[in-house]
Structure formats: structure tokens, C-alpha cells
Amino acid sequence: MKRCTTDELQAIVGRMPTTRDEDWKYTDLTRARDISSRWLTMGDGTPSSVLDEEIQRITESVEASWLVVANGEIRNLATVSGVTVDKLDEAPAGHHALAELNAALLKEGLRIVVEGTIDKPIGILVIDGTEDTSVSQAYIEVALANHSTASVIEYHASLGDADQYANTVVSLVVGDGATANHVRVQNRARNHVQTGRTDISVGKDANFRSAGFDLGGGLIRNDIVINISNAGADVSFDGLYLAGEGQHIDNHTRVDHRVGPAISKQEYRGILNGKCRCIWNGKAIVHEGADGTDADQANHNLLLSDKAEIDAKPELEIYTDDVKCSHGTTVGQLDETSLFYLRSRGLDREHATQILTHAFAAGIVARAPVEAAKEEITRLMEARLARMIQTDDNFSS
Amino acid sequence: MLEINNLKSRIGDTEILRGLSLSVNPGEVHAIMGPNGSGKSTLAQVVAGHQDYEVTGGSVTYKGQDLLELEPEERAREGIFLGFQYPVEIPGVNNAYLLKAALNAKRKHAGLDEIDAFEFLKTAREKMATLDMDPKFLNRGVNEGFSGGEKKRNEILQMAMLEPELAILDETDSGLDIDALKAVANGVNSLRNPDRAIVLVTHYQRLLDYIEPDFVHVLSEGQIIKSGDKSLALELEEKGYDWVREAASA
């Protein structure tokens, strides 16, 4: 790492996106830039004393073959038959500003190659915990060979009160006829910043199923870019974001249908309470000649407070005729009739609200393609919802 | 048990109840009948505590306390149950979960421990059998995709599990075929006892063939204009609501 001088690194930090960039107009990375600049002058701090404990808790609570990236360093390389895991000394030169930052500051990257059918999920825990200001990078390549099958759990977590910025670049290649099941759990501390970009390339007749859960974090930006350049690809990805007071969660998705027939379906749901902001921007581009494309996107939001803000933006660009595309976006409050029904059965308003929000979110959990992760997701989701609702004093009554 | 005195209520700017008085004692079954728009459902909703209905006058006393001061959930825990005319579908919330949560809310209020899981299932299955309901309904979303008849049976199941002291059943007979009607009536009749009062809100006399009321009241334009025994329902069926209205205004 630090193949550049500090001045060069400061210049790279300076090139991070700003709200003047169309794709970033709702998400201001000033905090990430400030943390990065400060950290460049200070260097790495002391690792958190409870980091090991938390790693143990997470890896024991979800049944998977775990690989751990802690404060940007690879902790262990699990040996799993059919899976080759390598440490990378560097990431490829990035083609966008955050990939450039990632490549410049990366300590160690991971490459995972899967052949055949792997039953036990591969877990990748990206965790940060320091006593001082910190910046960390994770670079992860996952490649599923043709006709292979694997489940991958990405788990992002952080600890501590100090300022922290984590930047992740993931590349996932799903070979021809392969099936990839993917779950991303983000449960960072609520004062921490994370940017993450995942590029997915889907092979001929390949299946990609994914669900992302943003259950924590202060300022979170996820970019998912899916490239379909082979016929017969079947892609579905869902997302759930829970945002309470002070949180900002931005999900940008982009699907490029370059060849048909192929299917892409996405459904994102969000629950917002208190002063917070979420963004869902779903772009689907059906390129010329991608006949037989079936692209569907949906985004549903539950706003429990009038201080919460959601920017929901579906973007469809279609350059061919033989396509089936649809999108739907809803923003609403809890249904008063349902609330009254539950209260008339003796449940207080808080409990009734928890039940209804839980039901709204549970649909996404139920469809998560990696069974082993569901219990942990449900636990985190329930705890977060309970807290979001309890600490709220702004219910529309 | 329930004393309603000169109750006035409106929704928005529309006055619906215009001085309604009714007294219900333990063990009694009352039928409230009346044409559409007479205020039957409003009465049921006001007693259950729906916030959209503003009470502009009069009083409602339940077991000696001012009912209008209580939140809907407090009324439920104190033993009031409203069977909804249009039971609400709540996808993603399992029927068993709601039943258990409702029961436990009531038990906690009464200072009792939570119900034992085995005991709960056993009781639920027994009650479902009397209502001719498939036990698999326990694991379905609350009223999710239920037919009209299934929803009404589910209301009666909730009532049977919660064992209210005062049950108000709002148009429980509407949209039921004869088998469902019998099953629902059977469920209601099995709950009749000297400590429990039941108020049936209905448009038609049909339900009263299966659940015999002690009192029948005719509601018109937000007031009870005539009260009698079960023969009043038959008379209404024969002569229509206009007959009572004319008699009352004469």
C-alpha cells in the first residue's frame, strides 16, 4: 500500500465524487473526504479492543466458511474444497474515483474462485474497529466458474465512536450456466461512512440472486452495477434499508441489458423514521438488439415521520422494441385502518407499529437467497426496528 | 355494564349519532338493526375507540369507568371486542402471532403470565374446530387472501380466544353463505353466558334466526327509535324500516 506519496493520495481524495456529479447529487461525501485527509496525516490508529470478540460473534452466528477482512487486513483464509482463495497485493487500476482510491490505499485484496457446487456459504466479513479515526479499503473478486453453484454472504460491520470511512470494491463474475446466491448485510455503526461498489457480470444462462440489507451505518452509499451481455441470464436482486434519526442511505442500481432474452428483477423496500434521508435510484438500460428483455423494478417506502425524506427514482432507457419493462414506486405511511385493527385487539400503538413495519420488511428477508443468513438478518432487523420505533417521538398520531 | 347516554358523534362535518342511548347488562344479547346510514357501524366504531369518529356529546360508561377516556387497546384489554364488518388484511403477520399477542396483551393487563405455547395451540385448535376452520389458517397472514366467510370466521375465532366481556359484532352476517352463517352463529352462541354481553349490529333479520336476541333496537338517523324483544325483528322483516320510522314520528 501507499504506492503514492501523501500529496498524490491527498489529490486522489480530492477527486472523490461531489454533489455536482449527477450520480451523487443526493449524497455528499464531504465527511468521507475529511476523514480521509485527516487520516492520511495521522496513519492507522489502535485496533478496537472488542474487534476480535465481534468477529467471533458474527462468524459463529452465521454458518459459513468465513474469510475476514479486519481494518483492511486479511485475517484468515478458510480452506474450502472447490474454492481457491488468494490474497492480492493490489487491486486493478480503478476506472472511477472510488476504485482509484481503493487501489491506492488497499492493503490486501481477496480473490475467490469457485468450481463445482459449494453447499456451505462463503462468508466474507469486512469489519473495522479502531480507537482513532480510520479509513479502510476492501477489494474482493469472486468468480464462479461455468456451471458452478455457490452462496456468498458479504457482511459489513464496524465498531467504535471514532470517525471511520470504509470503501469497498467488489467484482462478481458468474460463469455460463452458473448460479450465484448473494446476500449483503451492512450493519456499520451509526456514525460511520461507507461507500461500496459491486460490479456483477452474468454469463450465458446464468442465475444471479441477491439481497442487500442496510441495517446500520451513518452515511451509506451502495452502487450495484449488473452487466448482462449473454443470453438467458436470470437476475433478481432485492434490498431493504432501515433508516432512523441522522442516517443517510443511498442505493444506486444499474442493470445493462446488452443481449436478450434475459430477465432482471429488483425490489427495494425502505423504512424511514426521524430526520433521515434515503435514496433509491434504479437504472435499467436495454441496449439496441437486447430483444426479449424482461426488466422489472420496484421500490416501496414506509415513512414513519414527516421529517424523513426519500428520493425514489426509477430510470428506464430502452433502445429496442421487443421488451417487457415495468417499474413501480410507492411512498406511504402506515395504514391507519390496520393500526386500529391491531389496537382493537389490545396491542398498543408501538407494538402495532412494530408488527406492521416488521411485516413490510419481512417480505424481503423471506426472499433472501442464502438461508443461513436469514436468522442473523432477522435478529438485526428486529432489534433495529424496535429501537427506531421506541426512540421516535414524532409519530403522526 | 355498558351505559350509553345521549351519545353524539360525527365524522368530519357529518353528524351521525344524534343522541343515542342504550343500556347493556351482562348476559344480554342485543340486536341493533337499521337501514344503511342509520349509524349502526358508527356506534360500533365509537365504542371500540376509532379516532376518526369525534364524540361531540353524551357519555359512554363501561363497567363504571368513562370509556371515552380509554385508548382502543385499553378498551380491548378491559374486555371489549369489536368484530369488524370488513376485517383488515395484514399480509406478513401470521394469524397465530396476532392471536397470541392479543391474548398476552390482555393477560398482562390482568396481571397474568403469558400463555403457554402448547396451551395456546390446543385452545386455538379446539375453537377452530367449532368454527369449522382448517388449522392451517393459524399460519397464514391475518385475513390475507381469505374469502369473505373466512374473514368473518376469523373474527369469531379471535373473539373466542379473547373471551371478551362485551362483544360487538358489526354486520358479521353480511356476505356469508348459509354454512358460514351457521358456523359463525354457532361460535357466537357457544360464547353466550351470564357474564358476557353481545351486541349484534345487523341490517337483516336473517342472523337472528340463529342467534336469538333478548332485545332488538331500531336505529334511524343516529337515534334508537324503537326497542322491543325478538318479535320486533320479525315485524321489521315483514313491514320494513319505513313502518317503524312512521310509527315513531307519528
B93: CATH = 3.40.50.300
Contact A193, A164 (CB under 8 A): yes
pLDDT score of A123: 96
Asked whether the predicted pLDDT for residue B230 surpasses 80, the reply is: yes
Domain that holds residue B236: 2-249
Q: How far is CA A209 from CA A177, A182, A332, in A?
A: 13, 6, 27
Note whether B105 contacts A351, CB cutoff 8 Å: yes
| pLDDT value of residue A202 | 98
Q: Which residue of A has its CA nearest to B155?
A: A345
Q: d(Cα B108, Cα A351) in Å, to the nearest integer?
A: 14
Contact list, B97 vs chain A (CB under 8 Å): 355
Q: Which residue did the predictor score with more confidence, B70 or B177?
A: B70
> Whole-angstrom Cα distance, residue B40 to residue A360?
33
Show the CA angle centred on residue A271, arms to residues A270 and A276, nearest 5°: 100
B152-185 confidence digits (pLDDT tens): 999 999 999 999 999 999 998 888 888 889 988 9
**Residue the block writes with cell 349519532:** B17
User: What's the pLDDT at A73?
Assistant: 95
- pLDDT value at position A397? 34
pLDDT at A393: 47
A164 compared with B242, residue with greater pLDDT = A164
Measure in Å the smallest separation between the Cα of B2 and chain A Cα atoms.
17
Low-confidence residues of chain A: pLDDT under 70: 1-3, 391-397
Q: How many domains does chain B have?
A: 1
Among the partner residues B81, B84, B105, nearest to A341 by beta-carbon distance? B84
Interface of A with B (CB under 8 A): 335-338, 340-349, 351-352, 355-356, 358-360, 362-363
Alpha carbons A93 and A65: distance in angstroms, whole number: 29
Helix axes A349-367, A371-390, angle to 10 degrees: 160
Question: What is the model's pLDDT at position A394?
Answer: 45
Mean pLDDT across the stretch B235-239?
86
**Which chain A residues have a beta carbon less than 8 Å from that of B91?**
359, 363
Cα–Cα dist B229/B219, whole Å:
15
The answer to whether the CB atoms of B105 and A337 lie below 8 A apart is: no
Beta bridge partners, A312, equal A280
Partners of residue B77 in chain A, C-beta under 8 Å = 346
- Distance between B81 CA and the closest CA of chain A, angstroms: 7
- What ipTM was predicted for this assembly? 0.96
Please tell me the pTM assigned to this model. 0.86
* Alpha carbon A294 to its chain's center: 24
